[in-house]
């Protein structure tokens, strides 16, 4: 079932230097429970698109519907935000309280939910992100990956159906990135709709679909295998491909009979053992 639809969505920033078209007529439909990764070089419009999912920005033209709600209708603002949680790049900007459990409860308190119900939701959310043991900790004592998991728990406690991650792993070390990607996969398995913006191409292999952005447009929508099958195009756009894709392509060019469509390290290893 469709949960988000964009129709000729445009966004123009007006600045003293003039107008900047950041989204230039974007169309797509996302089904409930899908895991969508969004890739594209800096400035291609990913964050601008992210901010349209929960009405942080309004369309300059065209429309976006979230859970059937037109985000440009001011009456819908709070219902849109009840449906969409956001996790941003810098976990330090997202921590608002001095104790982990209070931080996770913050969003719920703003929604005016009963204290008993908040407590239940906080415990549940901390459990999902594997942070229950840190309930009474100060967030300042946590690693970057742990802080991001607290931020995710805060969103989960609000019980939104959709979570948008805007480069949520960009400031983390490899272990922290792994923790977040594992958490995101778990949420996806539970039926949440995931919008995952990243510049780590490896992370996109687990998505159902990738939106490939260039210059305010969605150039292509496809499965990770489809998107990374055209290595030349991805590189022309200034992006990398996953390491396994790169190595398989280079070995193929050197004459090895490697199967097409290798995406993950595991597939690459298996292919090596079979040539
Ligand atoms: P990405 O997240 O893919 O790096 P953005 O959505 O942040 O891209 O930016 C898309 C384009 O819009 C860029 O050219 C950027 O400079 C411009 N832009 C982003 N935010 C603003 C803003 N607040 N005011 C003016 N221009 C902006
Ligand atoms: Mg961005």
Q: Is the pTM of this model over 0.85?
A: yes
Go through 168-181 and write b for each residue having 16 or more CB atoms within 10 A of its CB, e for each that does not. bbebbeeebbebbb
Report phi then psi at 33, rounded to 5.
90, -5
Ligand 1 midpoint to CA 36 (Å): 21
**Is there an atom of ligand 1 within 6 Å of 43 CB?**
yes
Give, for ligand 1, the residue of 17, 19, 22, 53 to mutate: max count of ligand atoms closer than 8 Å to Cβ. 22
The Cα 6–Cα 167 span in angstroms is: 21
Atom of ligand 1 nearest to the CA of 13: 25
Give residues with Cβ within 8 angstroms of 216, minimum separation 6: 11, 21, 22, 23, 24, 26, 44, 45, 48
Distances (CA, A) of 29 to 40, 172, 252: 19, 31, 36
* Contact present, 192 and 155 (Cβ < 8 Å): no
Ligand 2 midpoint to CA 166 (Å): 7
Span 2-241: which CATH code? 3.40.50.300
Query: What pLDDT, on the 0 to 100 scale, is given for residue 110?
Result: 86
Q: What is the DSSP letter of 230?
A: -
**Is there an atom of ligand 1 within 6 Å of 54 CB?**
no
Ligand 1 midpoint to CA 271 (Å): 41
Residue with tokens 């001095």: 98
Residue 31 β-bridge partners: 2
The Cα 242–Cα 231 span in angstroms is: 10
Query: What pLDDT, on the 0 to 100 scale, is given for residue 268?
Result: 94
Report phi then psi at 267, rounded to 5.
-65, -35
User: What stretches of 131-173 show up as alpha helix (H) in DSSP?
Assistant: 144-157
With H, G, I as helix, E, B as strand and everything else as coil, classify residue 208. Answer: coil
Closest residue by Cα to atom 16, ligand 1, is 43
Count of residues for the chain?
275
Closest residue by Cα to atom 25, ligand 1, is 13
The Cα 241–Cα 228 span in angstroms is: 7
Could you tell me the mean pLDDT of each successive run of 10 residues in the chain, 275 residues long?
Answer: 98 96 98 98 98 97 98 96 94 91 94 94 95 96 94 94 96 91 95 97 96 98 96 95 94 90 93 87
Domains of the chain, by residue range, sit at 2-241, 242-275
Question: Please, how many CA atoms are within 13 Å of residue 35, restricted to the half-sphere of its CB?
Answer: 19
How far from each other are the two terminal CA atoms of the chain, in whole angstroms? 42
Query: What pLDDT, on the 0 to 100 scale, is given for residue 187?
Result: 95
Query: What pLDDT, on the 0 to 100 scale, is given for residue 131?
Result: 96
Six token digits for residue 241: 């491909």
């Amino acid at each position: 079932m469709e949960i988000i639809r964009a129709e000729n969505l445009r966004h123009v920033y007006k600045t003293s230097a003039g107008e900047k078209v950041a989204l230039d007529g974007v169309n797509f439909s996302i089904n409930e429970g899908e895991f969508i990764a969004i890739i594209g070089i800096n400035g291609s419009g990913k964050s601008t698109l992210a901010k349209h999912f929960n009405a942080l920005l309004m369309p300059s033209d065209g429309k976006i519907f979230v859970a059937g709600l037109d985000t440009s209708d001011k009456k819908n603002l709070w219902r849109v935000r009840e449906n969409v949680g956001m996790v941003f790049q810098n976990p330090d900007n997202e921590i608002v309280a001095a104790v982990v459990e209070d931080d996770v409860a913050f969003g719920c308190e703003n929604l005016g939910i009963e204290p008993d119900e908040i407590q239940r939701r906080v415990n549940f959310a901390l459990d999902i992100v594997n942070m229950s043991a840190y309930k009474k900790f100060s967030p300042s004592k946590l690693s970057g990956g742990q802080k991001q998991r607290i931020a995710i728990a805060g969103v989960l406690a609000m019980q939104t159906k959709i979570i948008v991650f805007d480069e949520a792993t960009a400031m983390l070390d490899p272990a922290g990135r792994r923790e977040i990607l594992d958490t995101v996969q778990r949420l996806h398995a539970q039926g949440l709709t995931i919008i995952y913006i990243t510049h780590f191409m490896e992370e996109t292999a687990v998505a159902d679909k990738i939106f490939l952005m260039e210059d305010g447009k969605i150039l292509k929508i496809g499965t990770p295998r489809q998107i990374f099958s055209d290595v030349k195009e991805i590189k022309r756009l200034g992006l990398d491909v996953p390491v396994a894709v790169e190595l398989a392509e280079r070995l193929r060019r050197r004459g090895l009979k490697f199967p097409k469509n290798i995406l993950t390290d595991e597939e690459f290893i298996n292919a090596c053992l079979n040539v």
